[in-house]
Chain A
Amino acid sequence: EAQVTQNPRYLITVTGKKLTVTCSQNMNHEYMSWYRQDPGLGLRQIYYSMNVEVTDKGDVPEGYKVSRKEKRNFPLILESPSPNQTSLYFCASSSSRTLISSPLHFGNGTRLTVT
């Protein structure tokens, strides 16, 4: 089944403790991205990648890192999480690097709580 898989689905951590949220897609998509979704703010892009070893900042990149060493994986790293990073995170991929001809395929989200 074609899908985007995020892990974990739920994560509670403390301020400053490094964490990684994994994202994997099995559709051979070149484009991958991370979003956070907060009440009243909608989806906001954190980072995106148009190909292996190519990443770029989205609208809210502060406090986050990403890497794209393989086509299928795009982990999101929080080196020193803070409470304002408590949010619902989505990974997405697309076969279209320009996002014109194909939609985004989203994972089912990771709910992160930082205390």
Chain B
Amino acid sequence: KNQVEQSPQSLIILEGKNCTLQCNYTVSPFSNLRWYKQDTGRGPVSLTIMTFSENTKSNGRYTATLDADTKQSSLHITASQLSDSASYICVVSPPYGNNRLAFGKGNQVVVIP
């Protein structure tokens, strides 16, 4: 069973609207959780990082939340733009000394005008 599950698998939203992507993980304990953005034809790029003690972190129109008790994270995109069309990948880091990352399969977001 995959240690990181993301939902929805894909979604289409209108430009200017908000959306929320979900990431549920079973990795425990963990060091941090990152969200990566992968544009079509490019490699993933780190958007945010959250440690187990953080609840919310923003990066421009992207806001990530973390609930370590329920092992859930979300990525909220505000006022979506066409350039937000991408795959968003949730990645969980195990504790120190174990560098094997756990990858989600990604949320595919398509923003239409």
Please report the C-alpha to C-alpha distance between residue A54 and residue B43 in the assembled complex, in whole angstroms: 24
- On chain A, the residues within 8 Å of B34 by CB distance are 103
Q: Does A97 contact B (CB under 8 A)?
A: yes
Task: Bin the interface of chain B by size.
Answer: 20 to 34
Please report the C-alpha to C-alpha distance between residue A46 and residue B86 in the assembled complex, in whole angstroms: 24
Please report the C-alpha to C-alpha distance between residue A45 and residue B103 in the assembled complex, in whole angstroms: 10
Residue of B nearest to A90 (CB): B43
Looking at the complex, which one of B36, B99, B103, B105 makes contact with A98 (CB distance below 8 Å)?
Answer: B99
- In this complex, how many residues of chain A approach chain B with their Cβ under 8 Å: the count is 23
Q: Does B46 contact A (CB under 8 A)?
A: yes
- Report A9-46 residues with CB < 8 Å from chain B CB: 31, 40-45
CB within 8 Å for A108 and B43 given contacts A43-B89, A100-B31: yes
- On chain B, the residues within 8 Å of A31 by CB distance are 99
Nearest-neighbour CB distance to chain B for A104, whole angstroms, equals 7
- On chain B, the residues within 8 Å of A100 by CB distance are 31-32, 93, 96
Please report the C-alpha to C-alpha distance between residue A48 and residue B46 in the assembled complex, in whole angstroms: 19
Interface readout for B90-105 with A: 1 if CB under 8 Å, 0 if not? 0001001111110111
Q: Does A112 contact B (CB under 8 A)?
A: no
- On chain B, the residues within 8 Å of A98 by CB distance are 31, 93, 96-99
CB within 8 Å for A106 and B31 given contacts A98-B96, A99-B99: no
* A106 and B43 contacting across the interface, CB-CB below 8 Å: yes
In the complex, which of the residues A4, A41, A43, A92 has the most CB atoms of chain B within 10 Å of its own CB atom? A43
Chain B contacts to A: CB under 8 angstroms: 31-32, 34, 36, 41-46, 49, 89, 93, 96-101, 103-106
Pairs across A and B, CB under 8 Å, 14 listed: A42-B103, A42-B105, A42-B106, A43-B44, A45-B100, A58-B100, A99-B93, A100-B93, A103-B34, A103-B46, A104-B44, A106-B43, A106-B44, A108-B43
